[in-house]
């Protein structure tokens, strides 16, 4: 028996609400991430309510995610941004700060936060990971991960023997 997950999870059968927080910076690539997720969610969570919020850049994503999480009205939040790895440490500093903040928010609010604020070295990596039809579209993978997490959390909530 293989431990590999199936490529696509089973669709959700309950009503769900998602929020997408997307950076305006590097918008061509960020929009590709969002489009990949929204397309995949239309199949995996039919009828889901999805709010899309735009922030200036990657560094601003955690504050918006935190505000959305604090409402208690969403089942999962997607964080989409693209950071170009440059000649200075700036990209590493932003990526680390965003990663740490998103993890903290997810744990504090007991909420799946799908972290797709990615750091790329070049346009080839950005195209492959962000644009529609890209072989590794991280938006599609984020949608699948969200559905898998919600399914698992639902199962844990229904299992009276789980301690």
- HEC profile for 81-131? EEEECCCCCHHHHHHHHHHHHHHHHHHHHCCCEEEEEEEECCHHHHHHHHC
pLDDT band for 4, please (50, 70, 90 cuts).
very low
pLDDT digits (tens, 9 = 90+) for 19-28: 999 999 999 9
pTM: 0.91
Q: What is the pLDDT of residue 163?
A: 58
Tokens of 26: 């590097």
Look at 134 and 50; give whichever has higher pLDDT. Answer: 50
Which residues does 145 contact at the CB level (< 8 Å), separation at least 6?
Answer: 112, 114
For the chain, list the domains and their CATH numbers: 17-157 (3.40.50.960)
Spatial distance between the Cα atoms of 91 and 78, rounded to a whole number of angstroms: 20
pLDDT digits (tens, 9 = 90+) for 58-101: 999 999 999 999 999 999 999 999 999 988 999 999 999 999 99
1 three-class SS: coil
pLDDT digits (tens, 9 = 90+) for 104-120: 999 999 999 999 999 99
Instruction: Summarize the confidence of residues 27-50 as an average pLDDT.
Output: 96
CA dihedral 50, 142, 40, 109 (to 10 degrees): -30
Q: Which residues are catalytic?
A: 90
Task: Indicate the helix (H) or strand (E) that contains 54.
Answer: strand 49-55
Q: What is the pLDDT of residue 162?
A: 61
């Amino acid at each position: 028996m293989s431990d590999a997950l199936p490529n696509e999870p089973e669709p959700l059968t309950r009503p769900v609400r998602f929020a997408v927080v997307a950076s305006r910076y590097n918008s061509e690539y960020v929009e590709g991430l969002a489009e990949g997720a929204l397309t995949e969610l239309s199949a995996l969570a039919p009828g889901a309510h999805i709010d899309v919020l735009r922030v200036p850049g990657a560094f601003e994503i955690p504050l918006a995610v935190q505000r959305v999480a604090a409402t208690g009205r969403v089942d999962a939040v997607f964080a989409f941004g693209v950071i170009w790895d440059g000649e200075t440490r700036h990209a590493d500093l932003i990526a680390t700060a965003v990663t740490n903040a998103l993890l903290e928010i997810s744990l504090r609010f007991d909420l799946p936060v799908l972290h797709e604020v990615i750091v790329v070295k070049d346009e080839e990596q950005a195209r492959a990971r962000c644009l529609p039809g890209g072989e590794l579209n991280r938006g599609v993978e984020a949608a699948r991960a969200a559905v898998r997490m919600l399914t698992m959390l639902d199962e844990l909530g229904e299992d009276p023997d789980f301690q």
